[in-house]
Structure 1
Amino acid sequence: MRLIIAIVSAISRGLGVIAALCLLSAVLSVSEMVFVRYVLGHSTIWQTEFTTYAIVAATFLGAPWVLIQRGHVNVDILQLAAGPRLRIAMEVLAALFSLLFVGLLAYAGWVHYEEAWSNNWTSETVWAVPLWMPLLPMPVGTIMLALQYVAEIMRLFVEPDAEDGASRNTLFSDTAEGTRP
């Protein structure tokens, strides 16, 4: 189980690096666009569209890394007030609901990508980008986000709690809440 967690997390971290590179490329394309438009006085063709696609790709591809970093929105006031068993149960339940949502989003993203691929859709701009390219990060990112949610659920049961060093597997523990054997 630890190997699966490590592999999924490594892929998610790699996607985080790719997301950062997408954001960097968006910044560079905007800078180039400003230079070409306002310094050279020429029109631009691809920069606005590329920047939009790069930012969207960074959003989807970076989402699994954000989950590892606990950067997603999380209202945890009830979790913090709950005992260890209830806290783990609430974390698992929240992750399962999130997994369901992300799974549906991944399916919809895949259907949309497949339609763009099979119908040879292109953008309605001068650049005429084949739309499968900017649509691919959505299913890739959401599938990896779903796998990262599975890894995070697995992590709840196999890795020690950072707070006290005790096993996080208190949901199935025979000891009473808050006590150690």
Structure 2
Amino acid sequence: MAANRSQAPKGPLDGVIATIHFLSRICGIASASMFGIAMLIICQLVFMRYVLNESTVWQTEAVIFLMIGATLVGLPYVQLLRGHVNVDLFPMYLKRGARMTLAILTLACGMAISALFGFYGLELVIEAYEGGWLSETIWAVALWKPYTALPIGFGLLFLQFFADFLALVTRRSTPFDIHDEIY
């Protein structure tokens, strides 16, 4: 892959792609931090409930919101690493042109789906904010706050798909990271 990058054209898109990759890495750090904080809250919950015999009010809900938020915010980082589940067997047997077409269609579908989820996620955040929605627990969290993970995660996933698309059509990367010289 390093040999392919040295042949890639240089230009303003390099900055755009690098910026999106940087944002995806920030999302990875934020996601890992959120999972770490959720783990610490679980430890605190267990200590409070089973060692001190005290009730816990906010911990369970906070852990749920943090873990869901971490999953959504971590989407672009996982896409950056190509960590989502995929099947490489089919693209491996395609010729280069067909492989490129399949990769473009796959990225276009990913962009469409992430844009759709991001749009409706933003709509949900606005509706929850304007409606003053609160969780039905003693903690009564304003639900627009945890819901913001939807448009943020899917919006940044859209950007990562877009960066992958730009890299593919400008020959900065290969379809499915498969190099023809292998076969």
The TM-score by the shorter chain falls in which range? 0.7 to 0.9
Which of 111, 118, 127 aligns to 1:99? It is 111
Question: Once the two structures are superposed, what CA deviation does each residue of 1:129-165 show, in whole Å capped at 9, x if it has no partner?
Answer: 111110001101100000110000111124154765x
Cross-structure match for 1:6: 18
Query: Please, what is the CA RMSD of the aligned residues?
Result: 1.5
Cross-structure match for 2:64: 52
Q: Could you tell me the TM-score, scaled by structure 1's length?
A: 0.87
Q: Which has the higher contact order (CA 8 A, sep 6+)?
A: 2
Q: Could you tell me the TM-score, scaled by structure 2's length?
A: 0.86
SS at match of 1:113: helix
Q: Could you tell me how far 1:76 is from its partner in structure 2? A: 2.3
Letter in 2 for 1:98: G
- The runs of 5 or more residues in structure 2 that have no matched partner are 1-12
CA distance in 1, matches of 2:137, 2:131: 17
Pair 1:135-2:160 in alignment: no
Cross-structure match for 1:171: none
SS at match of 2:74: helix
SS at match of 1:13: helix
Cross-structure match for 1:159: 172
CA distance in 2, matches of 1:129, 1:141: 20
Greater Cα offset, 35-44 or 148-157: 148-157
> How many positions carry a matched residue from both structures?
166
CA distance in 1, matches of 2:166, 2:122: 26
The structure that is helix-richer by fraction is: 2
Cross-structure match for 1:173: none
Residue correspondence of structure 1 range 9-158 to structure 2 within 5 A: 9-156=21-168, 157-158=170-171
Q: Structure 1 residue runs of 4+, over 2 Å off? A: 160-164
Letter in 2 for 1:159: R
Letter in 1 for 2:86: N
Q: Alignment identity in percent? A: 33
